[in-house]
A and B are shown apart, each in its own frame.
Chain A
Amino acid sequence: MSEATTLKLRGLKKAFGEQVVLGGIDMDIPLGSHTTVIGKSGTGKSVLLKCISGLMAPDAGSIAAGDEKGAPPCSYMFQQNALFDSMTVEENVALPLREKGKAKATEIKKRVSDLLEQLDLTAARKKYPAEISGGMKKRVALARALITNPEIILFDEPTTGLDPQRKYSVFDMIRSYRKRFGFTVIMVSHDVPEVFEISDKIAWLDAGEIKYWGTPDDLLANPPEDLKPFLNPQLSPA
């Protein structure tokens, strides 16, 4: 585990041709916390996550945890889960250990089976992703993300395409497992105001810049003027 207490993003820039997606992001994300990045579609939220995870190289800027350059070991949960459909639940979860590291087969089997038990997936261990429900797929993806004991898990719109009940159960799952395993959550979501209940910090990304950074309570108590149009239609009942 890293000794650092914050993940520092400094001057993070990313452009695709003429289109500037991140125009210089500065953030201090407390490790161990749950930070949610909100914003309209196409404002660069997923690009920010991909830069943090190392999937995408920023054009400029830096990411550091304490004195160490780059983010600490992190896992990524994709919108569509990105499970391998020709592998069973058990094989999907074991994949990072089987392909990397020096763990022996017996150790991998034990770690996978312990984790599947903790996530209530033991009964589905021999099933393929196509044979399990959407909620279970999310848990399998989370199990695969957790198996390497990462310090940070990046969630890219984890509730896309789910009905309200499932949405709540996914948020509940993230909250309870974060409590149990102690990882840092950096999440991208459109689900305002639901995400306020589980987040320690909210970042509002708009036009390539962080326009708001603070706690959900402060945001709800004193929403900045230019944030109201984004929040109000979603806060008011339909």
Chain B
Amino acid sequence: MISKVGRHSIRLVSELGELAGFSGKASVALPGQRHIMEKLTRSIFEIGVRCVPITLIVGLFTGLVLGLQLYYVLTKFSSESLLGQAVALSIILEIGPVFTAIMIVGQAGSALSAEIGIQRNAEQIDALHTMQINPIGFLVSPRLWAAIIAFPILTTFFDLIGIYGGYLTGVELLGVDPGAYWNRIYEAVSVQNIVNGLLKALVFGIVTTMICAFQGYYTHLKSDIPGARGVSQTTTRAVVYSSIAILMFDYLITSFQMAS
């Protein structure tokens, strides 16, 4: 039992080390690439633009539900005028960055992992090596930098539509004063709150992109089964590990932000 735990711990630490090394290579490889803007634009389209509809839909419904739930809680304390503040802070600080990251992982992260995994199996990564093209720079770096740009932007979209969703239920449906709703948000939300939320989005973007790319890139080493089932295994793992990492880092960053 103890030896099993030890073996797993050693494997985990060694995998984290490999992931850190891989991330380091990906973060510095972009300047060595040619046609950087073209690659970056394509990656921002894949990670950012394609995820806009899902982000807006989830953001709107999250805001609607949050407005509804918080209204009934606040009514118990006769504080329904605080609805705007409660919705905005919940979304900007926690729900926005976390839900957006999970949505992007579900859509773009899984696609990234599967695409690189298939490229590994089809010997395309080896082909890049033989052409003297750095595969990490060619396949991963543009995605990493695109995620750094796209995650905070999509989180901002989520925050805005979520707050509007809270307005729809709180003000339009349940009759909270619109002036109170917007005024409370204006008074309660500081620039620091927005920065804290976007900082989380940035960290989630880096961590999840690297996990998904890493799982795909080493699919031949990380999966128990070769071929398509191996890719499906590493893609599933990429999504699960990314989701866990989002919640872990959310806790860690929140702790630091609260302490400072």
Residues 51-86 of chain A, each 1 if its beta carbon lies under 8 Å from chain B, else 0: 001110000000000000000001110111011110
0/1 interface trace, chain B 11-49, chain A, CB 8 Å (1 if under): 000000000000000000000011100000000000000
A96–B131 touching, CB < 8 Å: yes
Q: How far is the CA of A84 from the CA of B124 in the complex (A)?
A: 7
A18: interface (CB < 8 Å): no
A75 contact from B34, B35, B130, Cβ within 8 A:
B130
Residues of B within 8 A of A85 (CB): 122
- B172 CB within 8 Å of chain A: no
Cβ contacts under 8 Å, B126 to chain A: 55, 76, 78, 82
- Residues of the A chain whose Cβ atoms lie less than 8 Å from the Cβ of B34: 98-100
Query: When the two chains form their complex, are residues B131 and A78 in contact, meaning their CB atoms are under 8 A apart?
Result: no
B interface residues, tally (CB under 8 Å): 15
Chain A residue contacts of B33, Cβ below 8 A:
99
Does B133 count as interface, using CB distance less than 8 angstroms?
A: yes
Confirm or deny: B71 has a beta carbon within 8 angstroms of a beta carbon on chain A: no
A84–B123 Cα distance when bound, in Å, is 10
Closest partner residue, chain A, to B121 (CB atom) = A80
Interface assignment of B181: CB less than 8 Å from any CB of chain A: no
A170 contacts partner chain B, Cβ-Cβ < 8 Å: no
On chain B, the residues within 8 Å of A53 by CB distance are: 130
B129 at the interface (CB under 8 A from A): yes
Say yes or no for A124: interface residue by CB 8 A criterion.
no
Nearest Cβ in chain A — how far from B84, in angstroms? 46
Q: Which residues of chain B are within 8 angstroms of A99 by Cβ–Cβ distance?
A: 33-35, 131, 133, 138
Alpha-carbon distance between A100 and B138 when the two chains are bound, in angstroms: 11
- Cα–Cα distance between A76 and B126 once the two chains are bound (Å): 9
Note all chain A residues with C-beta closer than 8 A to B132.
Answer: 96, 100
User: Would you call A55 and B130 a contact (CB within 8 A)?
Assistant: yes
Contact, CB under 8 Å: A78 / B133 = no
The answer on a CB contact under 8 Å between B130 and A76 is: yes
- Do B133 and A82 have beta carbons less than 8 Å apart? no
Question: Once the chains bind, are A78 and B35 in contact (CB under 8 Å)?
Answer: no
Which one of A79, A83, A95 contacts B131 once the chains associate, using CB atoms below 8 Å? Answer: A95
A85 nearest CB across to chain B (Å): 8
Residue of A nearest to B118 (CB): A85
> Would you call B221 an interface residue if the criterion is a C-beta within 8 Å of the partner chain's C-beta atoms?
no
Which residues does chain B contribute within 8 Å of A76, judged by CB atoms? 126-127, 130
Which of A99, A100, A148 is most buried by chain B, counting CB atoms within 10 A of its CB? Answer: A99
| A-facing residues in B113-169 (Cβ within 8 Å) | 119, 122-124, 126-127, 129-133, 138
Rounded to whole Å, the gap between the CB of A169 and the closest CB of chain B is: 22
Interfacial chain B residues near A100, Cβ < 8 Å: 34, 131-133
Please give, as numbers and ranges, the residues of chain B lying within 8 Å of A79 by CB-CB distance: 123
Name the B residues within 8 Å of A78 (CB-CB).
Answer: 123, 126-127
Q: Chain B residue with minimal CB distance to A100?
A: B132
Task: Compute how far the CA of A88 lies from the CA of B123 in the bound complex, rounded to whole angstroms.
Answer: 18
Query: What distance in Å separates the Cβ of B149 from its nearest Cβ neighbour in chain A?
Result: 22
What are 30 contact pairs spanning A and B, CB under 8 A? A54-B129, A55-B126, A55-B129, A55-B130, A74-B130, A75-B130, A75-B131, A76-B126, A76-B127, A78-B123, A79-B123, A80-B122, A82-B122, A82-B123, A82-B124, A82-B126, A83-B124, A84-B119, A85-B122, A95-B133, A96-B131, A98-B34, A98-B35, A99-B131, A99-B133, A99-B138, A100-B34, A100-B131, A100-B132, A148-B131
Q: Which residues of B contact A (CB under 8 A)?
A: 33-35, 119, 122-124, 126-127, 129-133, 138
- The 4 A-B pairs of least Cβ separation, nearest first, read A82-B127, A76-B130, A82-B123, A96-B131
